[in-house]
Amino acid sequence: MIAQVRRKTLSSTIQCLLAAALLFAAWPQAARAALPGETKSQKDARMKWWRDARFGMFIHWGLYSVPAGQWKGKDVRGYAEWIMNRAHIPKEEYQKLQKQFNPTKYDAKAWVSLAKRAGMKYIVITSKHHDGFCLFNSEHTDYDMAGTPYKRDLLKSLAEECHRQGLEICWYHSIMDWHHPLAKGDTFPQYVEHLKKQCKELLTNYGKIGVMWFDGEWIKDWSAEQGASLEKYLRDIQPGLIVNNRVGKRKRSPGDFGTPEQKIPATGMPGWDWETCMTINHTWGFSKHDKNWKSADDLVRKLIDVASKGGNFLLNVGPTAEGVIPQASVDRLEGMGRWLDVNGEAIYGTGPSVLKDTPWGRCTTKPGKLYLHVLKWPENGRLEVAEFKTPVKRAYMLADAKQKSLTVQQGQKGTTILVPAKASDPVATVVVVELVGTDKPAAGAVPEGFTSLFDGKTLSGWKGRDTRWSVEDGVIVGQSTVEKKLKHNEFLRTEKEYGDFELQIKFKLRNHNSGVQVRSQVHDDFVVRGYQADIAEKKYTGILYEEGGRGIMMKVDPKEVAEHLNQGQWNQYRIVCKGNNIQAFINGFQTFNYTEKKAGKPTKGIIALQLHAGPPMKVSFKDVVIKEL
């Protein structure tokens, strides 16, 4: 087991924008591109259970559990599962351990129950480690459980129990093999065929498998191309399979997620799905002399740290040769489970922090919520969330069943939450912060009382130039190119007119100009004039503009809007027209509140989306709904 991870930190600007995005959207999971033939939404669906899980159990178990870190009466330094290599044990001598491996105390039900009590959602176990011994019964080798006194397939009962208790079962499988005679040099291609045959057994004999977790890929005989071939082979067997980056050469063949080992990257791995694997003591396999146990409190805080950076935490246990998970491991896992029983909402299904600075602890997120994991309780009773200015609806202690609201103060320097004098949990107390404007339906849903103006498939009910407007993947897209540069603004407009109404619409664009017009009138078929709420032009975002009339009528400080606008991601516009009054909100932040005093202005008109004239640009709109008042 080795690891290597380095990533640059997110800029404070991006963090600020992401904070605003939380108001209306789930954390955007950025990872490697979807597989060939797989759309992003299909990949997101395939990865969903894993991303939501956040916490899993790693199990290192095999023949190395028999010597348990000692050979011929002497302690062997290093990881116990590497004892064959570290102690220079000849293959023939090490193989004799097969006849000594008899885990009569193994209880798959108890193991899975322990994982559940710990709050873990999946189990990854060593089907074969570097020593080449298989914990399952294979038709392609005698170096397996069938050749032990125990005889039975250890993986079969564990897989069945995971399926029964609702956990995902996953296999760790070593590419490197110290035992197989073909696993080196000129005969290595023949070994690869053997490797594929055993992987096929693992994917066809045990039901649905969550993850194939490879290791030992650093050997010179293995290539990124072989890894890509193996990955495709496996996915043809189980299309929903998740594969780690060690199937190839890590960075050169990234699989579905990165695998930092025994450490938590300082800033996570932006742009990747990732999972930190870690031991509870020092070694992965069971060792008699390893007493270097991490505390349950420390492990809880490590889990929080990982989740706050958008990763999963795969925590290892090393059972004895008899099949017993050490009591020290059990105690620590149950301690973590007790914390998760209260605070699991702040871990499972969460995204990473969007806060620039958290000297008091860590932060995880869900759409419309921040979970502040307070590791250092403020003695003065003031929890300071610096530079966070997104409007807060309420805050409360997650451990408080009654969810009694805490006092929240917001100003130019950020947000302050007045908390009790004493933390509810000395390890980590979670304060939930709900944001204004988050009582919204799920993406694509139509809120009660509203009517959809876009069915996600056609532009029925709208009118515009076909060469400028189209539907792509359920989204309205307006686009100009170098070849089709716009000389005049282009509009996509409703065929129906509206008077008093509330309009909700999501938009996405980056450094391009657009707008949403209301109560507008059509001139010369494609020219639209009326009240326009501008978006995404740095100087004018959030202004109220009269197209073809008085120009700018009302504007807000663009710096204030920038704090709430998420460039390049989906944002929510809400526009309310009632009588002579027009109000607009971007991600819950009010950009203007204007009452028309000029007589003769229309109080009814069409709604139009704008594609701005000028350089090539692209704007996208979706979830367009309206409620007539």
The H-assigned helical ranges of 98-187 are 108-117, 154-165
Residue 16 predicted with pLDDT over 50: no
The predicted pLDDT at position 413 comes to 87
pLDDT tens digit sequence for 552-605:
555 666 666 666 666 667 778 888 888 888 888 777 767 778 887 877 777 788
Q: How far apart are alpha carbons 212 and 234 in whole angstroms?
A: 9
Cβ-contact 321, 66 below 8 angstroms: yes
536 or 306, higher pLDDT: 306
The 10 Å Cβ neighbour count of residue 61 is 26
249 or 560, higher pLDDT: 249
Which of 197-201, 499-503, 534-538 comes out lowest in average pLDDT? Answer: 534-538
The predicted pLDDT at position 440 comes to 43
The predicted pLDDT at position 17 comes to 41
The predicted pLDDT at position 24 comes to 41
The 3-class secondary structure across 500-539, one letter per residue, is CEEEEEEEECCCCCEEEEEEEEEECCCEEEEEEEEECCCC
Which of 219-233, 302-316, 347-361, 537-551 comes out lowest in average pLDDT? Answer: 537-551
Residues 6+ apart with CB under 8 A from 89: 71, 83
Return phi, psi of residue 277, to 5°: -105, 140
The predicted pLDDT at position 607 comes to 86
Residue 3 predicted with pLDDT over 50: no
Q: Model pTM greater than 0.75? A: no
pLDDT tens digit sequence for 18-46:
444 444 444 444 445 557 778 888 899 99
Cβ-contact 334, 349 below 8 angstroms: no
The predicted pLDDT at position 512 comes to 58
Report CA-CA distances (Å) from 204 to 29, 108, 144, 237, 555. 30, 20, 17, 8, 63
Residue 186 predicted with pLDDT over 80: yes
491 or 627, higher pLDDT: 627
The predicted pLDDT at position 282 comes to 96
Residue 111: DSSP 8-state: H
The predicted pLDDT at position 549 comes to 54
Burial of 545 (0-12, 13-18, 19+ CB in 10 A): buried
Q: Quickly state the pLDDT bin for 148 (edges 50, 70, 90).
A: very high
The predicted pLDDT at position 441 comes to 40
15 or 381, higher pLDDT: 381
pLDDT tens digit sequence for 294-348:
999 999 999 999 999 999 999 999 999 999 999 999 999 999 999 999 999 999 9
119 or 3, higher pLDDT: 119
Residue 525 predicted with pLDDT over 60: no
Burial of 551 (0-12, 13-18, 19+ CB in 10 A): exposed
The 3-class secondary structure across 164-178, one letter per residue, is HHCCEEEEEEECCCC
Rounded (5°) CA angle 341-126-61? 85
3-state secondary structure of 134: strand
Burial pattern 180-194, b for ≥16 Cβ within 10 A else e, equals: bebbeeeebeebbeb
* Number of residues that this document lists for the chain: 629
Cβ-contact 111, 329 below 8 angstroms: no
Q: Quickly state the pLDDT bin for 434 (edges 50, 70, 90).
A: very high
The predicted pLDDT at position 49 comes to 96
Query: Strand 70-71 and strand 74-75: pairing?
Result: antiparallel
The predicted pLDDT at position 333 comes to 98
Cβ-contact 497, 605 below 8 angstroms: yes
Burial pattern 554-570, b for ≥16 Cβ within 10 A else e, equals: ebbeeeebbbbbbbebb
Tokens of 84: 């064959």
The 10 Å Cβ neighbour count of residue 610 is 24
The predicted pLDDT at position 320 comes to 98
Amino acid occupying residue 478 = G
Report CA-CA distances (Å) from 102 to 83, 88, 321, 364. 19, 24, 7, 44
Q: How far apart are alpha carbons 624 and 246 in whole angstroms?
A: 43
Q: What is the mean pLDDT of residues 465-474?
A: 78
The predicted pLDDT at position 442 comes to 45
Q: Quickly state the pLDDT bin for 7 (edges 50, 70, 90).
A: very low
Q: What is the mean pLDDT of residues 268-291?
A: 95
Q: Which domains does the chain have, with CATH numbers?
A: 39-343 (3.20.20.80), 361-435 (2.60.40.1180), 451-628 (2.60.120.560)
Tokens of 372: 């502040």
Report CA-CA distances (Å) from 369 to 135, 504, 598. 44, 21, 42
Residue 11 predicted with pLDDT over 50: no
Report CA-CA distances (Å) from 256 to 157, 398, 562. 27, 33, 33
* Mean of all residue pLDDT scores within the chain: 85
Q: How far apart are alpha carbons 92 and 507 in whole angstroms?
A: 66
pLDDT tens digit sequence for 64-107:
999 999 999 999 999 999 999 999 999 999 999 999 999 999 99
Q: E-assigned strands of 251-352?
A: 275-279, 312-317
Q: What is the mean pLDDT of residues 144-171?
A: 97
Q: Quickly state the pLDDT bin for 547 (edges 50, 70, 90).
A: low
The H-assigned helical ranges of 287-376 are 296-308, 327-343
Residue 211 predicted with pLDDT over 80: yes
The 10 Å Cβ neighbour count of residue 41 is 11
